[in-house]
Amino acid sequence: MRQERMTKANFKTTDVANIPTGRRGKHHAVVADILKELDGLQAGRALKIPLADLPDTVVNVRSALNRATRKLGKNVDTATDENFLYIWHGPRAQ
Protein backbone atom coordinates (compact mmCIF):
# COMPACT_ATOMS: atom_id res chain seq x y z
CA MET A 1 0.00 0.00 0.00
CA ARG A 2 1.10 3.41 -0.82
CA GLN A 3 1.21 5.78 2.08
CA GLU A 4 -0.26 9.25 1.37
CA ARG A 5 1.61 12.15 2.73
CA MET A 6 -0.42 14.46 4.98
CA THR A 7 0.20 18.11 4.31
CA LYS A 8 -1.20 21.15 5.99
CA ALA A 9 -4.02 22.75 3.99
CA ASN A 10 -3.42 26.33 2.94
CA PHE A 11 -7.02 27.06 1.99
CA LYS A 12 -10.48 26.51 3.43
CA THR A 13 -12.97 24.32 1.62
CA THR A 14 -16.72 24.49 0.92
CA ASP A 15 -19.37 22.34 -0.68
CA VAL A 16 -19.78 22.97 -4.40
CA ALA A 17 -23.51 23.51 -3.76
CA ASN A 18 -22.58 26.68 -1.80
CA ILE A 19 -20.76 28.30 -4.72
CA PRO A 20 -22.74 31.07 -6.46
CA THR A 21 -23.19 30.57 -10.19
CA GLY A 22 -23.15 33.35 -12.74
CA ARG A 23 -21.12 36.48 -12.66
CA ARG A 24 -22.30 39.61 -10.92
CA GLY A 25 -19.32 41.91 -11.28
CA LYS A 26 -18.82 45.38 -9.88
CA HIS A 27 -20.41 46.99 -12.97
CA HIS A 28 -23.62 44.97 -12.72
CA ALA A 29 -25.71 47.76 -11.19
CA VAL A 30 -24.74 50.49 -13.66
CA VAL A 31 -25.07 48.16 -16.67
CA ALA A 32 -28.49 46.96 -15.45
CA ASP A 33 -29.64 50.58 -15.07
CA ILE A 34 -28.39 51.47 -18.56
CA LEU A 35 -30.10 48.44 -20.14
CA LYS A 36 -33.35 49.23 -18.34
CA GLU A 37 -33.36 52.81 -19.62
CA LEU A 38 -32.35 51.69 -23.13
CA ASP A 39 -35.44 49.47 -23.28
CA GLY A 40 -37.67 52.54 -22.99
CA LEU A 41 -35.55 54.81 -25.19
CA GLN A 42 -37.21 56.30 -28.27
CA ALA A 43 -35.60 55.81 -31.68
CA GLY A 44 -33.20 58.62 -32.52
CA ARG A 45 -32.50 59.39 -28.83
CA ALA A 46 -29.42 58.59 -26.73
CA LEU A 47 -28.74 58.25 -23.03
CA LYS A 48 -26.40 61.01 -21.83
CA ILE A 49 -24.53 59.90 -18.72
CA PRO A 50 -22.07 62.23 -16.94
CA LEU A 51 -18.64 60.58 -16.75
CA ALA A 52 -18.38 61.80 -13.15
CA ASP A 53 -21.40 59.62 -12.26
CA LEU A 54 -19.80 56.38 -13.49
CA PRO A 55 -18.55 54.00 -10.79
CA ASP A 56 -15.38 53.21 -12.78
CA THR A 57 -13.53 54.40 -15.87
CA VAL A 58 -15.53 54.87 -19.05
CA VAL A 59 -13.43 52.14 -20.68
CA ASN A 60 -14.37 49.57 -18.04
CA VAL A 61 -18.06 50.51 -18.05
CA ARG A 62 -18.18 50.34 -21.86
CA SER A 63 -16.53 46.92 -21.77
CA ALA A 64 -19.04 45.64 -19.23
CA LEU A 65 -21.90 47.08 -21.29
CA ASN A 66 -20.50 45.48 -24.45
CA ARG A 67 -20.32 42.06 -22.76
CA ALA A 68 -23.90 42.37 -21.50
CA THR A 69 -25.40 43.57 -24.79
CA ARG A 70 -23.65 40.85 -26.82
CA LYS A 71 -24.94 38.24 -24.39
CA LEU A 72 -28.49 39.63 -24.81
CA GLY A 73 -28.17 39.98 -28.58
CA LYS A 74 -28.71 43.76 -28.46
CA ASN A 75 -26.96 46.17 -30.78
CA VAL A 76 -25.88 49.29 -28.90
CA ASP A 77 -23.55 52.11 -29.92
CA THR A 78 -21.58 54.39 -27.61
CA ALA A 79 -19.61 57.60 -27.84
CA THR A 80 -17.89 59.89 -25.36
CA ASP A 81 -16.73 63.44 -25.12
CA GLU A 82 -14.94 65.22 -22.28
CA ASN A 83 -17.96 65.07 -19.98
CA PHE A 84 -20.46 62.44 -21.10
CA LEU A 85 -20.96 58.85 -22.18
CA TYR A 86 -23.65 58.57 -24.86
CA ILE A 87 -25.45 55.28 -25.47
CA TRP A 88 -28.12 54.51 -28.09
CA HIS A 89 -29.63 51.65 -30.06
CA GLY A 90 -27.39 50.69 -32.95
CA PRO A 91 -28.61 49.61 -36.37
CA ARG A 92 -30.30 46.23 -36.48
CA ALA A 93 -28.12 43.38 -37.70
CA GLN A 94 -29.28 41.93 -41.01
Query: Which stretches of the chain score pLDDT less than 50?
Result: 93-94
Q: Hey, CA dihedral for 16, 17, 21, 24, is it positive or negative?
A: negative
**What is the pTM for the complete model shown?**
0.72
What pLDDT score was predicted for residue 94?
38
Residue 2: Cβ-neighbour burial (10 angstroms; 0-12, 13-18, 19+):
exposed
Cβ neighbours of residue 30 closer than 8 Å, sequence gap 6 or more: 54, 55, 61, 64
Q: How far apart are CA 92 and CA 77, in angstroms?
A: 11
What pLDDT score was predicted for residue 90?
87
What pLDDT score was predicted for residue 33?
95
